[in-house]
């Protein structure tokens, strides 16, 4: 059944296409909103079993924070963008289905700790099979293991009766915090299909969708297996750069080199480039760790243990960097954190997002509580998620929106997230509110360390010499 757009001169116009996004999370919601914005003649529906999340998408307080997203949703919601819980209806009425469900790392059984947990994906595939009454184009939008499309094809085309499904791989390459910009002006859009006539037709349909706003030369087509692997490989390369510079930061601290200078010098090499060479407490988010471990599992399954070990080293360095940060805090603060109040500036895994999945701040908070410290968490967007993440954890934790109130009575500030807000704070005012000696541990190297030291703080950057007042 075709939907209806706004009246135009008294004449009702039908939607040209009906798009469905299954999954209303960090991928599905923004993806659907951008398609609706750029393709006003398409009806775009987002469905999810989580009624609370759908209600949030239909409210003024969206469940996902991304700069620019609220404006797009406000402009398109109710016009050609809809958020609903009726999944069977959405499947029946759609022509193109984007699968945007979560694929976390397995915590049980074979491949636990490495392989992707595909139970939500398979449930979705079987829902599509059960409720579809006409041929569909099914698009893998979430990051899936290589050959997932084959399994999806086998499930979807198991029905007798002539309904056929074409499965495409169209991995997202958006970065949280810049998702809207990344979708509006992408470096590339990748579409993988089967090398069949039906696969090419489905691919061309999706190409035409993106061509509404993406230059054709940036829309890349490939076979479906190359597309699935390319997403995993891209995240591996990015994470590898982060872990490499973080490993270098550890050397810098032992040799009194400055990782900022090293990064700048290395980044000027045209073969390397400067992006993702900023030392930090480590990467987080839903993708890097999960996708790399997926590759590790694949390599071990295929009899490539040396390759698996190499890839896994990227994750080990990331875990090491987070633990090293905590141990540096412990050493600097006289080898005990018990009873000391420490304020975490930021809990989101990166700036400009509310997402706290795999956030380094989670590891740091847990470890500080294990050391019997008191933890105060402040974040401009992620406090609700932080509360959920730390619910049930033993120890004293408070959540305070205002960073000045959060730092009151604390002995240390630990910068966890590179929010611009923290660069502009009045650190003299913060210093007056804190217990002396006062410490700053800058896990993102975003502050003016010399100025903070002049104020009175003992400052511990990453990969740079500490600035202290101790003899």
Q: Of 316, 338, 364, at which residue does a domain stop?
A: 316
pLDDT in tens, 17-54: 999 999 999 999 999 999 999 999 999 999 999 999 99
Q: Which residues touch 279 (CB under 8 Å, ≥6 apart)?
A: 245, 246, 248, 249, 252, 259, 260, 263, 445, 462, 463
Same domain, 345 and 276: no
What does the pLDDT read at residue 375? 98
Q: Quick one: 21 and 148 in the same domain?
A: yes
pLDDT at 242 over 90: yes
More confident residue, 350 or 7: 350
Sign of the torsion angle spanned by Cα atoms 267, 272, 275, 278: negative
Shared domain check, 257 and 147: no
Strand partners, 151: none
Do both 281 and 331 map to the same domain? no
Residue 245, domain CATH: 1.10.1040.10
Number of domains in the chain: 3
- State the residue range of the domain holding 429: 320-460
One domain for residues 155 and 189: yes
Q: Are residues 297 and 423 both part of a single domain?
A: no
Q: Are residues 293 and 329 in the same domain?
A: no
What pLDDT, on a 0 to 100 scale, did the predictor assign at position 160? 62
Q: Are 197 and 338 members of one domain?
A: no
469 Cβ contact list (under 8 Å, min separation 6): 437, 453, 456, 458
Q: What is the DSSP string of 45-87?
A: EEE-S-HHHHHHHTSSS-SS--TTHHHHHHHHBTTTEEEES-H
The reply to whether 127 falls in a domain is yes
Q: CA nearest 178: which of 403, 377, 418?
A: 418
In a domain, 171, yes or no: yes
Same domain, 39 and 113: yes
The pLDDT value recorded for residue 103 is 82
pLDDT above 70: percentage of residues in the chain: 97
Q: What CATH number is given to the structural domain containing 106?
A: 3.40.50.720
Note whether 37 and 144 are same-domain residues: yes
Q: Is the sign of the CA dihedral 52, 3, 6, 40 positive or negative? A: positive
Listed range (112-116, 187-191, 313-317) with the worst mean pLDDT = 112-116
Residue 114 lies in a domain: yes
Does the bond joining 437 to the residue before it have cis omega, within 30 degrees of 0?
yes
Among 255, 284, 316, give the residue marking a domain's end. 316
What does each C-alpha distance from 244 to 65, 70, 185, 364 come to in angstroms? 30, 36, 29, 21
208 in the same domain as 63: yes
Kindly list the catalytic residues: 287
Nearest Cα neighbor of 58 from 84, 36, 35 is 84
- Alpha carbon distance, N-terminus to C-terminus of the chain: 77
State residue 353's pLDDT score: 94
Q: CA torsion sign, 110 to 114 to 115 to 121?
A: positive
Positive or negative: CA dihedral 175, 178, 183, 189: negative
Report if residue 219 sits inside a domain: no
Q: What's the mean per-residue pLDDT of the chain?
A: 93
| Boundary residue ending a domain (255, 290, 316) | 316
Please tell me whether residues 67 and 188 are part of one structural domain.
yes
Q: What is the pLDDT of residues 288-335, one digit of tens each?
A: 999 999 999 999 999 999 999 999 999 999 999 999 999 999 999 999
């Amino acid at each position: 059944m075709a939907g209806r757009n706004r009246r135009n001169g008294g004449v009702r116009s039908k939607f040209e296409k009906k798009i469905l996004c299954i999954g209303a999370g960090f991928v599905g919601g923004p993806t659907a909103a951008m398609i609706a914005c750029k393709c006003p003649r398409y009806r775009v529906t987002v469905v999810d079993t989580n009624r609370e999340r759908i209600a949030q998408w239909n409210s003024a307080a969206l469940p996902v924070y991304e700069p620019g997203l609220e404006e797009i949703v406000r402009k398109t919601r109710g016009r050609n963008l809809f958020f609903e819980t009726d999944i069977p209806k959405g499947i029946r009425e759609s022509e193109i289905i984007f699968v945007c469900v979560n694929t976390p790392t397995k915590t049980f059984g074979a491949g636990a700790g490495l392989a992707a947990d595909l139970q939500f994906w398979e449930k979705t595939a079987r829902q599509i099979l059960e409720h579809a009454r006409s041929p569909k184009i099914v698009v893998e939008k979430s990051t899936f293991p290589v050959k997932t499309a084959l399994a999806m094809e086998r499930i979807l085309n198991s029905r007798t009766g002539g309904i056929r499904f074409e499965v495409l791989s169209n991995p997202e390459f958006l970065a949280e915090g810049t998702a809207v910009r990344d979708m509006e002006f992408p470096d590339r859009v990748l579409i993988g299909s089967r090398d069949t006539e039906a696969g090419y037709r489905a691919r061309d349909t999706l190409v035409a969708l993106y061509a509404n706003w993406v230059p054709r030369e940036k829309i890349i087509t490939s076979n479906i297996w190359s597309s699935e692997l390319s997403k995993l490989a891209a995240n591996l390369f990015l994470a590898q750069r982060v872990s490499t510079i973080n490993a270098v930061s550890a050397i810098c601290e032992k040799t009194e080199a400055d990782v900022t200078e090293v990064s700048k010098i290395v980044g000027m090499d045209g073969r390397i480039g400067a992006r993702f060479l900023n030392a930090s407490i480590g990467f987080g988010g839903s993708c890097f760790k999960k996708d790399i471990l997926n590759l590790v599992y694949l390599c071990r399954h295929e009899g490539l243990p040396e390759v698996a070990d190499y890839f896994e080293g990227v994750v080990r360095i990331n875990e090491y960097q987070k633990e090293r940060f905590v141990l540096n805090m412990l050493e600097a603060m006289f080898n005990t954190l018990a009873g000391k109040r420490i304020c975490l500036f930021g809990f989101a895994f990166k700036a400009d997002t509310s997402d706290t999945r795999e956030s380094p701040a989670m590891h740091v908070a847990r470890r500080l509580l294990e050391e019997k410290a008191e933890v105060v968490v402040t974040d401009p967007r992620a406090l609700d998620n932080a509360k959920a993440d730390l619910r049930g954890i033993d120890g004293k934790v408070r959540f305070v929106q205002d960073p000045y109130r959060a730092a009151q009575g604390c002995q240390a500030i630990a910068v966890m997230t590179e929010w611009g807000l923290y660069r502009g704070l009045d650190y003299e005012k913060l210093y007056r509110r804190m217990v002396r000696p006062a410490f700053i541990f800058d896990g993102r190297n975003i502050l003016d360390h010399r100025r903070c030291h002049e104020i009175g703080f003992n400052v511990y950057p990453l990969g740079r010499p500490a600035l202290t007042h101790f003899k």
